[in-house]
Each structure stands twice: as C-alpha cells, then as structure tokens.
Amino acid sequence: MSKTAENSLKRVEAIALNAQGKGLRNELGDSATTGLYSIRLKQKGSLNLQLKENKANAYAELIQDRNRNARIDSGESLGRSQLRQGKQSLNLKNLDRGTYFLKVHVGADRPATYQLALSTQPAYSTSQTSGGYQYLKSGSSQSRGFLSDLFGNLFGGSSSRWNGSFINRTAANVADYNSYNFSRPDLKKNLGGRGKSGKTLARLKVNYGSESPGSAIQDDNYAMQAWTQVSLKSGKFYEVRSDSNDGTRFFFRDRKTGKVVTSLNGDWRSNSSGEWTQLLSVPEQAGGSFDFYVQYYEKTGDSAIDISLKEVQPTAQVITDSTLNLRSKPSTLNNSPIAALDSGTNLKILSKVQSADDTNVPDWYQVSTPDGKKGYVAAQSNLVQLNGGSNSIANFGSGNNNGGSTSNNNGGTPNNGGIQPGNSNNNPQPSPSGGGGSSDGKINSKGLKVVKSFEGLRLDAYLDPVGVWTIGYGTTSGVRAGMRITEAQAEKYLQEDLLRFEKAVKSNVKVPLTSDQFSALVSFTYNVGEGALGSSTLLRKLNQGDYQGAASEFARWNKGDGVELPGLTRRRSAEKALFLGQDYTAYL
C-alpha cells in the first residue's frame, strides 16, 4: 500500500454514534491491514474505546482532519490506544463536536481480526456509563463470527449483559407487539449484568415504579425489548419465569443464522399479577448459543420487570381418577402397558418426545417412577400434572408456543390416549416416492426456484421483523446497516447459505431421499433454520420412514407469532408438493 493511500481519509465506514451514545449494532468484514471509520459527535463530550485483536502490534488511532484535505497530516493524530489489562484502550475527554476519524492498525499480516467497542459521554452528563453502544467486527470472510463472543463487559450491547431498547407507544397500540419496531428506539439502555448464577442462565429485575426508564420515554404506554446471550444444552429442560407488570413475551434467536427458533407469548396480559412460568424441552442436537429476548409493555401504573431463565429438572404427578399406563415406547399402537400407575404417583420427567406413529396421542413424556421403573406416559394435562406452576412443556425449536395446557389430543374421555391400548398397522418401511430421481446432496433447480421465489431479492440491507439485518435472498450473516450488493454478490451469498442448509439436511435425515424431497427440505430449512429442522416432528416422522406423515407436517410451519401468514402457507404448500413430486409451481 502506498504512503498516499495509507494516509487517505476518503474511503471510510461511517459509525452511527452520537454524543448520547445512541449507536447501532453492526458487523464489518475486511481483509485489509487497516480499518478506517468516521465518527460524528453532535456535542462536546468524551470518547471511550477498547480494541481486542489477534495481532500483538495492533492499535487504534483517533484523527481529526483539521485542514479538511481528506488526508492524515502531521499533528492531526489526537491519540493512540494503549495496552491495558489485555485490551487496547483509549479515553479522550473534552472533544469538541464535529467529525473524527478512527484508524485501526493491525500490521501487515493477513488475515487479521479485531473487534471494537465505542462509547461516548456528553460533557454535561453525570452518569458513569453510556447507555449506547457500537460494535465493529473485522476480518476475512472465513473469520466472520469468530469474535462474536470475544468481549465480556464493555460499554453495553455486550452478550454478557442485558441490552435494553425502549419505544414510546399510545394507549391504543401499546400491547400490539406486531407493530413494534426496535430498529430505531427512543432510548437504549444498559440494564446490567446477565444475572447468571448456578442453574440460572439469565435474570432481569428492574423496577421503575411510576417513573419512566429515561427522559426520552414517557411514564406510561411504552414498550421495552431486552436481550442477552445464553447457551442451552441439548436434552435439558429450562424454565422461563415472569413476575412482571404489565405483559412479557419471549423469543430465542439462533446466533448463527439470525432466525427466531422459539417464541413464547403466554404472559402477554395487562396488569398481570402472580408468577407465570413455562417449561422448555431442548431436543437432542438442538442446543447451542442463542440470544434470549424479552419484550415488555407498560400501560399505566407501576412498572416492574422480573424475569428469569434457568435449567430445571421437571417433576410431575399422576392425576387420573383410575390408573395411568406406563408404556415401553411413546405410542398406544401395538404397545401393551408395562405398568399401571396409581393417581398421586410422583414422576421424574426425563424428556419430552413425539410419537412416530400415534397421531391420536402425539406428545409423550419419558419418565421414571420412585420404584425405579422407566417408560412413557401421554403428555396430557388431564393425566399428568407438572409441579412448579407450568402446566405444559413446550418444544424448543418448534416456532411459536403460546404456553398453557396440553390438550387432550383424542377429543375423547380423559382416560383415552394415555390408558387404553390401540391398534394400527406397523410403521411403514422407508420407501421414498417423489420426483427428480435419487438425491445427490445438492438442491436442484426446482428447489432453488422455490427459495428464490419466496425469499425475494433485495440489494439493500433491511431489518427483518425481529431487527436482524438482511440482504439478498434472505442472507443474514455479516450484513450491516447501509450495505448494498449486486445481483452477482446476492447469488454468491445464496450459494454459501445453501451449502450450510444442504449439510444440515444431509446430517439430520437418515432415510433415502429423492432429489425433489431433498430440495424441498433444503428450502424448508433455509426458512426455519437448522435447529428447527432437527427438533421437528417432520424430521422424526421422516426418519421413521413415514414419508406421507412427514409431508403433512409442512403445513404446520405457517405462523409468525401465532398468526397464520399467507406467504408462509403458500411456501409450505409449494415445499410439500415438491416433496411429493407434485406440481409446486401453482403456489409460487
């Protein structure tokens, strides 16, 4: 790189950070040896910076172009970061309002990775920390995501803290979460540490009383969204608890794909009193790192938020009038009971599973009894009562869960399903029937047409409904605000994404597939995510060789926040038709 190019200030990335610390969360990918950014302060204040990098000689430099010639001249450097406690730090006070340039030097070796955290403090403020934050991440395309968990406690916006955004609402729409837009909040606020302790993964407890969270937010009729990072283990149970006023709802976003994998709406109620709890079962191979979100609305009166997420071991009690059959497998079909459990028998819940062949009783608990017996009982709230406040266990990764009771799926008397044995044919052996010949492990042209038709092509970055930056054909990895790409780049990103989802289908499906079946599943996974596929009833039925049963499961995945979406209904119909080797084009 020439000295002239190295000193140029013409090609920069702008950081949307103002003197109140209201920034935006962003990701940048760059394999160059320097990173150059511009910052505009709208009033006099201080700037705090911390840099984490994989090069021992990396540092950051703040520059002011005093003669406005778009070059770095002698005397225009205001300061360089210094190594303190393993991080490069820079703290400059009494900066006048105006535009400044931040240059990151990472040496000549490539690729280089680094991550910045920036915070500003107005000169007149007495607060110790800024509520705003800005994260920048840089590296080669292979290193994207490498530093997503690198920082612990920086200035806010950290995965180890609760990061809050607040928006003002009206009395008419304060509880209408479908119309929330947290991409431009009226207030961003650091709500404190994650609250991890023992089995508790996260806890948020704040009480604003009759006051507002900040001067930019009104006392009544506002909404909050807060998030922190959590790690969920496969095969474990978790309890989401809320004792808040007014309503709270929750969702989990996969940190790899940016997609929402589970949402809980069961406590979205005005002036709630008493605790609300919901148990979650994380299936095998569905664990991982997730962003745990809570949304809260305050209508009138006192504002109190107290929510938690913790790992638990569920227990239950048999509550039938007679006895409950314990079975050797999760089905009433061709499966005689191995024991009869009396009412009042205590149970330890080992897992929640779905039957591979019993459509009348699809949901089951694997349990152990006090005398050491193990088996399966129907997961119906009129047969088995969970201890601890929750009356059902939701399946993590299955999209929307409203909480509440598990209904009697038979529609018959309470003893049906869990007690009476049934009759049916044996589960069919795997025999794929669809179009396109045998699968070669790649999406075919039909599946690609389905994906492109429903994802659509957008060349400018945009925020999806849950605030994830998206571009091209639904790409979320490495996307930042203001990003613009060409159609060729969109196609490249699509092919990179498809490789991941093709791999997910190949690793999860254990039965033979035709090319059309494989392609339909790739389109499905592209939309719902790998975790959702891995924990789905569709996959369970498919791996049992029930191809028709698996095809019927596509239609269940057509909702967003519990509301049927016509676009998802058409997409699921197209994927089902493709899976069965039928005409899918009528739904495009």
Q: Region 547-560: what's the mean pLDDT?
A: 88
Structure tokens at 575: 């994927």
Residue 148's nearest CA partner among 140, 137, 156, 157 is 137
More confident residue, 403 or 34: 34
Asked, for residue 279, whether it belongs to a domain, the answer is yes
Q: Report the pLDDT value the prediction gives residue 315, as an integer from 0 to 100.
A: 94
Q: Report the pLDDT value the prediction gives residue 267, as an integer from 0 to 100.
A: 62
Helices vs strands, H then E, count in the chain: 8, 33
Looking at the DSSP assignment, which residues form a beta bridge with residue 84?
Answer: 87
Q: Considering 312, 344, 368, which residue would you say is the last residue of a domain?
A: 312
DSSP 146: T
pLDDT band at 98 (very low <50, low <70, confident <90, very high): confident
Give 93-108 as a DSSP string.
Answer: EEEPSEEEEEEEE--S
| Whether the predicted pLDDT of 423 surpasses 70 | no
| Same domain, yes or no: 179 and 306 | yes
Least confident of 265-269, 344-348, 442-446: 265-269
pLDDT band at 108 (very low <50, low <70, confident <90, very high): low
More confident residue, 467 or 61: 61
| Same domain, yes or no: 300 and 334 | no
| Whether the predicted pLDDT of 9 surpasses 50 | yes
Structure tokens at 182: 């947290």
Sign of the Cα torsion 287, 291, 296, 302 reads: positive
User: Phi/psi at 326 (nearest 5 deg)?
Assistant: -100, 125
Instruction: Count the Cβ atoms, other than its own, within 10 Å of residue 28.
Output: 19
User: Phi/psi at 178 (nearest 5 deg)?
Assistant: -65, -20
What is the Cα–Cα distance from 294 to 278, expressed in whole angstroms? 14
| Same domain, yes or no: 501 and 571 | yes
DSSP strand pairing (323-327 vs 315-318): unpaired
Strand (E) or helix (H) holding 168:
strand 161-168
| Same domain, yes or no: 166 and 308 | yes
pLDDT tens figures, 557-584: 988 666 788 888 899 999 999 998 888 8
CATH of the domain at 241: 2.60.120.260
What is the Cα–Cα distance from 172 to 68, expressed in whole angstroms? 50
More confident residue, 7 or 452: 452
SS (H, E, C) 14-48: EECCCCCCCCCCCCCCCCCCEEEEEEEECCCEEEE
| Catalytically annotated residue among 61, 76, 455, 502 | 455
Asked, for residue 99, whether it belongs to a domain, the answer is yes
What is the Cα–Cα distance from 250 to 229, expressed in whole angstroms? 13
| Same domain, yes or no: 488 and 572 | yes
List b or e across 501-512, with b for residues whose CB sees 16 or more CB atoms inside 10 angstroms. bbebbeebbebe
Residue pair 442/503 in contact (Cβ under 8 Å)? The answer is no
Asked, for residue 187, whether it belongs to a domain, the answer is yes
Q: Considering 346, 366, 391, which residue would you say is the last residue of a domain?
A: 391
Instruction: Count the Cβ atoms, other than its own, within 10 Å of residue 291.
Output: 19
Structure tokens at 366: 């694997």
- Exposure of 298 in the CB half-sphere (CA atoms within 13 A): 25
CATH of the domain at 136: 2.60.120.380
SS (H, E, C) 321-353: CCEEEEECCCCCECCCEEEEEECCCEEEEEEEE
Q: Report the pLDDT value the prediction gives residue 587, as an integer from 0 to 100.
A: 84
| Same domain, yes or no: 176 and 268 | yes
Asked, for residue 420, whether it belongs to a domain, the answer is no
Structure tokens at 586: 């009528």
What is the Cα–Cα distance from 11 to 37, expressed in whole angstroms? 9
pLDDT tens figures, 528-549: 888 889 889 999 999 888 888 8
CATH of the domain at 573: 1.10.530.40
Q: Region 463-484: what's the mean pLDDT?
A: 84
Residue 146: Cβ-neighbour burial (10 angstroms; 0-12, 13-18, 19+): middle
Asked, for residue 252, whether it belongs to a domain, the answer is yes
pLDDT tens figures, 140-167: 332 222 222 223 333 334 567 899 999 9
Q: How many residues does the chain have?
A: 588
| Whether the predicted pLDDT of 21 surpasses 50 | no
pLDDT tens figures, 348-395: 999 888 888 887 778 889 999 999 999 999 888 778 888 877 777 888
Q: Report the pLDDT value the prediction gives residue 411, as an integer from 0 to 100.
A: 29
Least confident of 214-218, 412-416, 441-445, 468-472: 412-416
Least confident of 54-68, 186-200, 326-340, 492-506: 54-68
Least confident of 116-125, 422-431, 503-512: 422-431
What is the Cα–Cα distance from 413 to 92, expressed in whole angstroms? 73
| Same domain, yes or no: 239 and 365 | no
CA-to-CA separations, 178 to 175, 182, 562, in angstroms, rounded: 9, 11, 11
Residue written as tokens 């030097």? 105
**E runs forming strands in 243-330:** 247-254, 260-267, 276-281, 288-298, 303-312, 315-318, 323-327
CA-to-CA separations, 214 to 47, 110, 118, 190, 204, in angstroms, rounded: 22, 44, 21, 12, 17
Residue 178: Cβ-neighbour burial (10 angstroms; 0-12, 13-18, 19+): exposed
Write down the H helix ranges in 370-486: 445-455
pLDDT tens figures, 224-274: 999 999 999 998 999 999 888 778 888 898 887 778 888 886 666 554 456
**E runs forming strands in 438-520:** 458-463, 469-472
Q: Considering 391, 424, 458, which residue would you say is the last residue of a domain?
A: 391
User: Phi/psi at 448 (nearest 5 deg)?
Assistant: -65, -35
What is the Cα–Cα distance from 13 to 374, expressed in whole angstroms? 60
Residue 395's nearest CA partner among 159, 232, 194 is 232
Q: Does the active-site annotation cover 455? A: yes
| Same domain, yes or no: 319 and 304 | no
| Same domain, yes or no: 200 and 272 | yes
SS3 464: coil
Say which amino acid occupies 464: D
Strand (E) or helix (H) holding 117:
strand 114-122
More confident residue, 323 or 316: 316
Structure tokens at 149: 């968990």
DSSP 416: T
Average pLDDT of the chain to the nearest whole number = 77
pLDDT above 70 covers a percentage of the chain that reads 76
| Same domain, yes or no: 286 and 345 | no
Query: What's the N-to-C CA distance of the chain in angstroms?
Result: 50
User: Phi/psi at 362 (nearest 5 deg)?
Assistant: -80, -30
| Same domain, yes or no: 449 and 581 | yes
| Whether the predicted pLDDT of 494 surpasses 60 | yes
Structure tokens at 588: 């495009």
Q: Report the pLDDT value the prediction gives residue 56, as an integer from 0 to 100.
A: 58
Looking at the structure of the chain, the number of domains it has is 4
pLDDT band at 526 (very low <50, low <70, confident <90, very high): very high
Residue pair 204/191 in contact (Cβ under 8 Å)? The answer is yes
| Same domain, yes or no: 578 and 463 | yes
Asked, for residue 300, whether it belongs to a domain, the answer is yes
Q: Report the pLDDT value the prediction gives residue 1, as an integer from 0 to 100.
A: 40
| Whether the predicted pLDDT of 23 surpasses 70 | no
Asked, for residue 86, whether it belongs to a domain, the answer is yes
Say which amino acid occupies 89: S
CATH of the domain at 341: 2.30.30.40
Domain that holds residue 234: 161-312
Residue 466's nearest CA partner among 222, 290, 268, 277 is 290
Residue written as tokens 């080669």? 140
Per-range mean pLDDT, top range of 123-137, 461-475, 509-523? 509-523
Residue 348's nearest CA partner among 386, 300, 314, 298 is 314
pLDDT band at 312 (very low <50, low <70, confident <90, very high): very high
pLDDT band at 35 (very low <50, low <70, confident <90, very high): confident
Asked, for residue 413, whether it belongs to a domain, the answer is no
